[in-house]
Amino acid sequence: MSSTVSAIQRSALGFVLVLVIFGTLPLVVSSYQMSIANEILIFALLAMSIDVLAGYAGRTSLGHGALFGISTYVVIYWTSVYGGSAWVGCLLGVVVATLVAAIFAAFAVRVSGVYFLLLTLALGMIVWGVCLRWTSITGGENGIRGVGRPDLIASPTAFYYATLAVVLLMTFLIWRFVRSPFGLTLRGIRDSESRMRSLGYGTSAHMFVAFTVTGFFAGVAGALYALFNNFVSPSTVQLSQSVEGLLMAIIGGIGTLFGSFIGAAAIIMLENFVSAYTARWQMVLGVMFIVTMIFAPQGILGTLRMLLIRKR
């Protein structure tokens, strides 16, 4: 029982830390740095959606970047081409991303391991191909320009706090989701699918729901990204987006949820601040991955947690 209490305490600490750190940032940083923090929050949510599958259900997805991007496309298309309201657009974006996730899930529940990786990769590539080729709708390579944010969240500070609120709410939902009996079943499937099946659990149905739900979270992140970036092109749905989300989850620590914030912060800050000093920032990124994999295979937060437990 005491371990459950400390787990809840730990998560509460995570929430408080995210709230305090990200909540006070706008008071001390410039508007550009705030936009970086904003991006970190959005990508942390994407990384978390991947982390649910990778860390709790043992399935590594390379298709969530595409789900994220679908939502971005829908929001931008709805507001700029169709001329609809941004709020409805966001709702639609999330719904469409969730629906597509359900279609992906119908295929993906049949496989596990490396085949799951390959299948989600292929599905993601299909989305990318469609966005690139369906020029009349997506604008092809050139993408679509947005029309800006609604007045209520037009100022960068207002939008930043709106993002923070949404991301915190989603984090809470994800946290509840993985700690529910449903989440426990997912962990059971991760450890031994055949045993769970012989115990009478519908593993396929569980995986289907889990995949679709993570698609919902990726969709929310994508809708926020549409409001943030005000532009979408095939590079938003391409494979590197999925890979980046996965790397963020890995660097932070698979199966830690809050590690996604650390991973997103590490990668995005590296991209933006190191690149100001050297054009070879990708090498720095590569070295960082290798060092993480050798010295902290559980990711930054995972390793910290291990050290704390060992100390007790």
Partner 1 sequence: MDRRQFLKTTGLTVAASAAGTFAAPQILRAAEPIRIGLMAPLSGVVAAGGREIVEGFNMYWEERGKKAAGRAVEVIVEDDAGNPDTALQKARRLVEQAKVDFLFGNLLANTGLAVASYVKGNGVPYFIPVIAADDLTQRNRIKNVIRVAGYTASQMPRPLADWALKQGYKRIATISQDYTFGHEQCAGFAQVFTEGGGQIVAQLWNPLNTADFSPYIGQLGDLKIDAVFAMELGADASRFMKQYSDFGLKGRIPLLGAQNFTDQSVIRTLGEECDGIISSAHFAEGSDNPETQKFVKAYSAKYGKMPSLYGFSHYSGAMWVDQVIEQLKGDISNRDVFIDAVLKSQLTNSPLGRPVRFDDYGNPIYDVYIRKVVKNKDGKYWNVPIETYPAVSQFWTYKPEDYLKNPPFSRDNQGIKK
By CB under 8 A, is residue 243 in contact with partner 1? no
Compute CA distances 232 → 143, 226, 228, whole Å.
Answer: 5, 7, 11
235 binds partner 1 per the rule CB under 8 A = yes
C-beta of residue 106 within 8 angstroms of C-beta of residue 269: no
The residue range among 42-50, 91-99, 216-224, 229-237 that interacts with partner 1, by the rule CB under 8 A, is: 229-237
Whether 138 and 73 have beta carbons less than 8 Å apart is answered as: yes
Name which position in 25, 102, 111, 145 contacts partner 1 (CB under 8 A): 145
Residue found under tokens 């494979």: 239
Residue 136 tokens read as 């009349």
Quick check: 233 binds partner 1 (CB under 8 A)?
Answer: yes
230: contact with partner 1 by CB under 8 A: yes
Instruction: Count CB atoms within 10 A of the CB of residue 43.
Output: 25
Smaller CB separation from partner 1, 41 or 213: 41
Site string for partner 1, 22-61 (x = CB under 8 A): --------xxxx-x---x----------------------
Out of 1, 5, 28, 279, name the contact with partner 1 by CB under 8 A. 279
Shortest separation between residue 96's beta carbon and partner 1, angstroms: 21
Our finding on whether 136 is near partner 1 (CB under 8 A) is yes
Q: Please return the burial class of 204, using the count of CB atoms within 10 Å of its CB with bins 0-12, 13-18 and 19+.
A: middle
Span from 109-117, 169-177, 206-214, 228-236 in contact with partner 1 (CB under 8 A): 228-236
Buried b (16+ CB within 10 A) or exposed e, 277-312: eeeebeeebeebeeebeeebebbbbbbbbeeeeeee
Q: Which is nearer to partner 1, 38 or 49 (CB)?
A: 38
- Please report how close the Cβ of residue 66 comes to partner 1 at its closest, in angstroms: 15
When the beta carbons of 59 and 149 are compared against partner 1, the nearer one is 149
Q: If you write DSSP's letter for every residue of 173-242 in order, what string do you get?
A: HHHHHHHSHHHHHHHHHHH-HHHHHHTT--HHHHHHHHHHHHHHHHHHHHHHHHHHH-EE-GGGTSHHHH
Q: Tokens for 37?
A: 């923090």
In the list 85, 141, 205, 293, the residue contacting partner 1 (rule: CB under 8 A) is 141
Judged by the rule CB under 8 A, the positions of this chain that interact with partner 1 are 30-33, 35, 39, 135-136, 140-143, 145-146, 148, 229-231, 233, 235-236, 271-272, 275-276, 279, 282
